[in-house]
């Protein structure tokens, strides 16, 4: 664990993706931790996929620290349709940003990675030591590998240049302000939307992809944001650490829970011709407790209830088109 020396309350921090789902919560978490000089970097202002956009951002914002959250992401469907663009954009954003940050004299870089980088058949719970023991699950491998290359870059830059970069690996997130677009959303917002719309229409059946046998781990977004704010100041070295709840749930159990919380009482029909994705996902999270002094604290059903409450309010505000 590092001493909190480089990132203090006055440090100018650039948070890429700071206007997005996770980013907006990270901005709030940094503010709660006393950081008064954090700046949200949005794609409409700076295109980080291109070198000139990265260089201009660094010249104009002049950060001393960077939290790299920006990513092109989506569920299984989006990953299957856009593997090339997901790979290219995520790789370029992270790699260009780290290189230009080094050149500009940025003193601290925190890369926020993904457990999609783990091998498809990683022993459960996922331990950081198993990260390189196989190829990721095929449906999201391009995305996972693009983010994984930033771990290599981080370690290489520390070795050659003494560049102070660290990485955390996030499990699947959920919570208020998530992406509920059916074309690109992840499993929880996609299911919440479908269950709510089914209740509103009076549908008696919902079709769900896969067998329901795959398992996933989920982390409430405010807990994740808190961990990231702590890691920015405290995480030393380039070896990545897992950030998650350490609790596993089957997709079948998840769907049944969301249906109950949304008030859907009809039939759940499983389409086994559709992919399950990685068979199991659950993290070993002892290193985050040891090195950050952090553990998740929001119970899963409580977090789901908060997310449902937020989404219902958002649908009302937008005329049920959120």
Task: Sketch out the chain's domains with CATH numbers.
Answer: 13-174+217-243 (3.40.50.720), 187-215+248-280+298-316 (3.90.25.10)
The answer to whether 161 is a known catalytic residue is no
As a whole number of Å, the CA-based R_g of the chain is 19
- pLDDT tier for residue 79 given thresholds of 50, 70 and 90: confident
| Least confident among 54-58, 91-95, 228-232, 278-282 | 278-282
pLDDT in tens, 98-155: 999 999 999 999 999 999 999 999 999 999 999 999 999 998 999 999 999 999 999 9
Q: Which are the contacts of 37, defined by CB distance < 8 A and separation ≥ 6?
A: 9, 10, 11, 12, 13
d(CA 45, CA 56) in angstroms, rounded, equals 10
How many CB atoms are located within 10 Å of the residue 296 CB?
Answer: 24
CB 228 within 8 A of CB 244: no
Whether residue 311 is predicted with pLDDT greater than 90 in this model: the reply is yes
For the packed helices 251-262 and 187-201, what is the interaxial angle rounded to 10 degrees?
A: 40
- Torsion sign over Cα 98, 104, 105, 106: negative
Q: Which of 118, 143, 157, 311 is catalytic?
A: 143
- pLDDT tier for residue 78 given thresholds of 50, 70 and 90: confident
Q: Which are the contacts of 125, defined by CB distance < 8 A and separation ≥ 6?
A: 246, 248, 282, 283, 284, 285
pLDDT in tens, 152-205: 999 999 999 999 999 999 999 999 999 998 887 889 999 999 999 999 999 999
pLDDT of 275 reads: 86
pTM for this predicted structure: 0.93
């Amino acid at each position: 664990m590092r001493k909190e020396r480089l990132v203090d309350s006055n440090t100018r921090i650039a948070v890429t993706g700071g206007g997005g789902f996770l980013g907006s919560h990270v901005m709030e978490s940094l503010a709660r931790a006393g950081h008064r000089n954090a700046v949200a970097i949005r794609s409409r202002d700076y295109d980080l996929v291109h070198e000139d956009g990265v260089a201009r951002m660094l010249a104009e914002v002049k950060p001393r620290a960077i939290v790299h959250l920006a990513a092109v992401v989506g569920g299984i469907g989006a990953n299957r349709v856009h593997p090339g663009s997901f790979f290219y954009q995520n790789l370029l954003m992270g790699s260009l940003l780290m290189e230009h940050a080094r050149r500009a004299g940025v003193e601290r870089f925190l890369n926020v990675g993904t457990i999609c980088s783990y091998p498809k058949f990683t022993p459960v719970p996922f331990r950081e030591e198993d990260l390189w023991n196989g190829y990721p699950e095929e449906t999201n491998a391009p995305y996972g590998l693009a983010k994984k290359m930033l771990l290599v870059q981080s370690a290489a830059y520390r070795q050659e240049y003494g560049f102070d970069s660290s990485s955390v690996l996030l499990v699947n997130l959920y919570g208020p302000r998530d992406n509920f677009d059916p074309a690109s959303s992840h499993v929880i917002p996609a299911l919440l939307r479908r269950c709510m719309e089914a209740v509103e229409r009076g549908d008696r059946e919902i079709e769900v992809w896969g067998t329901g046998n795959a398992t996933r781990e989920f982390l409430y977004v405010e807990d994740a944001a808190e961990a990231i704010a702590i890691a920015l100041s405290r995480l030393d070295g380039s070896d990545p650490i897992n950030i998650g709840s350490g609790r596993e749930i089957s997709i079948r159990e998840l769907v049944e829970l969301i249906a109950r919380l949304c008030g859907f009482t009809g039939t759940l029909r499983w389409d086994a011709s559709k992919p399950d994705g990685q068979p199991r996902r659950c993290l070993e999270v002892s290193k985050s407790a040891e090195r950050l002094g952090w553990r998740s604290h929001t119970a899963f059903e409580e977090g789901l209830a908060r997310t449902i409450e937020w989404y219902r309010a958002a649908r009302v505000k937008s005329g049920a088109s959120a």
